[in-house]
Amino acid sequence: MQVEIVTPLGEQYTGEAVKLDVPGLLGEMGILPGHRDLLAALGTGICRIYEAEHADPIKILLDEGYVQVSYANRIIIVTEQAETRDDIDVDRTRDDLGRARSELAGTREDVGTRTWQTRRHAVALAEARLRLVDAL
């Protein structure tokens, strides 16, 4: 399968894969060759790209977006940002997580508002970054 990950900054990854796991809004989705056509929203989380059978996956953090799968085994992921382990500053991310959790706690009575959603997203993004570097 041909996989492309695109952000507003341009193409972040392109390559062949035998399997792909992406963070769907309702949970992780696995994609194998021959998958039916699909257009789905993505949540914030870790994408795992398996370039060969029984190989360790390439892990890339995705921050919301969409995945399009075509029957021709072409997968295009459009996301707000894509980060690898090397892009993550663990100490800064831990600080960001602490700050985001405190700010989120201050909006408990506003659950569902745009402010609450923005703060919840900041927590989810920091947690995903730490999971990517196995620090959470």
Q: What CATH number corresponds to the domain at position 74? A: 2.60.15.10
Question: pLDDT class for 82, splitting at 50, 70, 90?
Answer: very high
Residues 36, 94 within the same domain: no
E strands in the chain: 2-7, 10-16, 19-24, 27-31, 38-50, 58-70, 74-79, 82-83
Question: pLDDT class for 1, splitting at 50, 70, 90?
Answer: very high
- The pLDDT of residue 112: 82
- What is the percentage of the chain residues whose pLDDT exceeds 90? 85
The residue range of the domain holding 121 is 88-132
Question: pLDDT class for 18, splitting at 50, 70, 90?
Answer: very high
Residues 49, 78 within the same domain: yes
Residue 40, burial from CB neighbour count under 10 angstroms (0-12, 13-18, 19+): middle
Mean pLDDT for the stretch of residues 28-37: 94
How many domains is the chain partitioned into structurally? Answer: 2
Local structure of 129: helix, strand or coil: helix
The model's pLDDT over 90-136, given as tens digits with 9 standing for 90+, comes to 999 999 999 999 999 988 778 888 989 999 999 999 999 999 998 65
Contact 3, 16 (CB under 8 A): yes
Residues 105, 76 within the same domain: no
- The pLDDT of residue 66: 98
Task: Provide the H-helix boundaries in 5-135.
Answer: 90-105, 114-132
CA 16 to chain centre: 18
Residues 58, 15 within the same domain: yes
Residues 112, 96 within the same domain: yes
- The pLDDT of residue 136: 57
